[in-house]
Amino acid sequence: MNACMICLNFTLLIVVVAKKKLKEQEIIQRTLKDYDWRVRPRGSNLSWPDTGGPVLVSVNIYLRSISKIDDVNMEYSAQFTFREEWNDARLAYGRLADENTQVPPFVVLAASEQADLTQQIWMPDTFFQNEKEARRHLIDKPNVLIRIHPDGQILYSVRLSLVLSCPMSLEYYPLDRQTCLIDLASYAYTTDDIKYEWKLTNPIQQKEGLRQSLPSFELQDVLTDYCTSKTNTGEYSCLRTKMILRREFSYYLVQLYIPSLMLVIVSWVSFWLDKDSVPARVTLGVTTLLTMTTQNSGINAKLPPVSYTKAIDVWIGVCLAFIFGALLEFALVNYAARKDITTGHRMLPKYTNHMDYSSGYQPLVSATSAMTPSHFWWCFRPFVRRYRERSKRIDVVSRLVFPIGYACFNGEYSCARVMLLLRREYSYYLIQLYIPCIMLVVVSWVSFWLDKDAVPARVSLGVTTLLTMTTQASGINAKLPPVSYIKAVDVWIGACLIFIFGALLEYALVNYYGRQEFLKKERKKKTEFKGCLYSSNHLNQDLRQSLRLDMNTYRRKWWRKFRLNTYLCGNTEVSKRVDLISRLAFPTFFACFLGISKVEDETVIRTGVE
């Protein structure tokens, strides 16, 4: 008897379990049996007795990635999960539940590659108004989810990748801030049929790390809004997503502002060169002007042709103006120098003398001059006395006016994750980047071993190595995306540029001190020439002292020239001392930089391996 009861209960349990397994299939079959997906469901508004009012569609967006923000085409790419929720009473399967039947909390309709089950129920005809290209993801299966709840509430979720238009205002580029939109609306149904609304909680969700994934922009905020519009066919409900993007400035600081600033400063080296160094000063001015023009063309090639002036145009325009002004300044200096030659031996302005002579041999002289200096220019009298040539005065004034003017201008402006640790091979960059950069830096040091009077050679060497280094930096960064942070290669190229730039400035200092020493020698010669009016005994004594030879200078050993007093003794010319110190200081500091860089590289590699 007990055995019969156990068998009966086991049989009933099998029947109950079998019914539960078939329940989901029965729900789908019985619900969709008389369902017409071409007719929209009734709304929930009781004041509309016929149609029930518009269907309320609640929208939620999960932003996964934002990439390829194109300034030229004014578009961007976005990938997100788009979710819609609405109620369709015809699909409410809760009425099928009874005392003996239990319905699941929801039923999932999964799309397949063979049959598109999404067409079996009515869905909103949502489209994105500013979309250029779009696609659904089909790997490994179509990324579509349709979930039906017992009360007829439907959740539709799909993963999309879209290319959306984003009209940009570039007046403040690269210090600009852009607002990119995602507009969605119904294509056929008016507000009498469909009304979109944002989900009350978390209408816009962001994937973790989304704000840091943008290479050249910072996602400051994401806002929601409504954009309902009226057309000839009716009024259509619309939802809008606003993404506030701020352009990162670090990339443009390293790639644009610092190089252009260095070019302007290099053009000022011309003010410290001798006015007779025509080839060097013209080459310096023209080369920096052409380099700045090339950089301007490279920047505008990445931007659309707009009708207004951008902030970057103002910056480059002012830099071009200062470089062009330095070139014009030398033209004025050269013209004034030639005028100084023709007027150098003119007589001073005439003045009247009244002289009374007595019968003796000693004249009694009294003179009155008609030259009355202006009170305004009297304060500049020491400056005019020191720099009698107008060409020299123009150079001296330009050394102060150009930097001050330029400084004033600048003052105004859930999942499984697989992590692949990849280490970039170093040998390629060692041959293509690091060794050429080291060679360029070493070549710039050749200037320290040339004669200080070899102006064209030393200026051409410095400018050529600087421009070659700039071109190499542009070639390296052309293969990389514009990121907001400073890369290790930027630090390396920046340091090499500083050493080459320093070698060029060093010669400007050497040339300046060399000319000062030359003028000092000329004044000394004039003083010695005036000393010829002294007595012959005094002259012979001076000649005897000047002809005295110090034989100790011929007994110096070859290693004594490397002593420290050779570089710091007062007998050596200042310009010569600057060159001597630079021969030692530049290689020493560059070697220290190489040592620090190697230690940092080893630390980074060790950290990555761990």
Whether the per-residue pLDDT at 290 is higher than 80: the answer is yes
Does pLDDT of 356 surpass 80? no
Is the confidence at residue 539, as pLDDT, over 60? no
Residue 182 has pLDDT above 90, yes or no: yes
249-340+384-413 and 422-535+564-610: identical CATH topology: yes
- Give domain 22-248's CATH architecture: Distorted Sandwich (2.70)
Query: From start to end of 334-491, where are the E strands?
Result: 353-356, 364-367
CA 273 – CA 469 distance, rounded (Å)? 23
Is the predicted pLDDT of residue 291 greater than 80, yes or no? Answer: yes
Q: Write down the mean pLDDT value for the chain.
A: 77
Helix and strand numbers (H, E) in the chain are 15, 16
The residues spanned by each domain of the chain are 22-248, 249-340+384-413, 422-535+564-610
pLDDT of amino acid 242: 94
Out of 48-57, 115-124, 353-362, pick the least confident.
353-362
The winner for highest mean pLDDT among 106-120, 338-352, 505-519, 591-605 is 505-519
Q: Locate tokens 């704000």: which residue?
A: 211
Burial of 428 (0-12, 13-18, 19+ CB in 10 A): exposed
Binning pLDDT at 50, 70 and 90, where does residue 226 land?
very high
Residue 90 CB coordination number (10 Å): 16
> pTM for the full model?
0.61
Which CATH number is correct for 422-535+564-610, 2.60.40.420, 1.20.58.390, 1.10.357.10, 1.10.132.10?
1.20.58.390
249-340+384-413: which CATH topology? Methane Monooxygenase Hydroxylase; Chain G, domain 1 (1.20.58)
227-258 pLDDT, tens digit per residue, is 988 888 889 999 999 999 998 888 888 888 88
Is 251 in contact with 69 (CB distance < 8 Å)? Answer: no
Distance between CA 425 and CA 276 in Å, rounded?
A: 51
Instruction: Specify the pLDDT at position 159.
Output: 92
- Judge whether residue 27 has pLDDT over 70: yes
Mean pLDDT calculated for residue range 312-317 = 89
Task: Dump pLDDT digits (tens) for 138-165.
Answer: 887 888 889 999 888 999 999 999 999 9
User: Does pLDDT of 415 surpass 50?
Assistant: no
**Of the ranges 13-22, 37-46, 259-268, 419-428, which is most confident?**
259-268
Q: Give the Cα separation of 343 and 211 in Å (integer).
A: 70
Angle at 115 between CA 112 and CA 120, to 5 degrees: 105
CA dihedral 501, 506, 508, 509 (to 10 degrees): 150
Q: Which residue in 491, 489, 474 sits closest to 302, CA to CA?
A: 474
